[in-house]
Amino acid sequence: MFKPTIALTLFLFLLATLFAGLGYWQSQRKVEKAALFEQFENAPSLDIARAVDEGRRFARIDGFGHFDTERHVLLDNRIFNGRAGVHVLTPFILGDGRVIMVNRGWLPLPADRASLPDVPTDGGSRTIRGRLNYLESDGPRLGDPDQFDSERWPQLVTYLDRQPLEQALETTLPPWIVQLDANQPGGFGDRTWKAAVMPPETHGAYAVQWFALSAAALIIWIALSYRKPARDEDTFEENA
User: How do the pLDDT tens digits run along the chain, 240 residues long?
Assistant: 777 788 888 999 999 999 999 999 999 999 999 988 998 889 999 999 999 999 999 999 999 999 999 999 999 888 888 888 899 999 999 998 999 999 999 998 877 777 888 888 998 999 999 999 999 766 556 656 667 777 888 888 888 888 888 998 999 999 999 999 999 999 998 888 888 778 889 999 999 999 999 999 999 988 888 776 655 555 545 554
∠ CA 130-135-141, rounded to 5°: 135
Rounded to 10°, the helix 6-41/200-225 angle is 170
Which of 84, 89, 60, 70 is closest to 188 using CA atoms? 89
Distances (CA, A) of 228 to 3, 8, 159, 240: 10, 17, 60, 19
Render pLDDT for 82-101 as a digit per residue (tens, 0 to 9).
888 899 999 999 998 999 99
CA distance 131 to 195: 10
Answer whether 218's CB lies under 8 Å from 15's CB.
no
Q: How far is CA 18 from the centre of its chain?
A: 24
CA distance 198 to 62: 27
Answer whether 61's CB lies under 8 Å from 46's CB.
yes
For the whole model, what pTM was predicted? 0.78
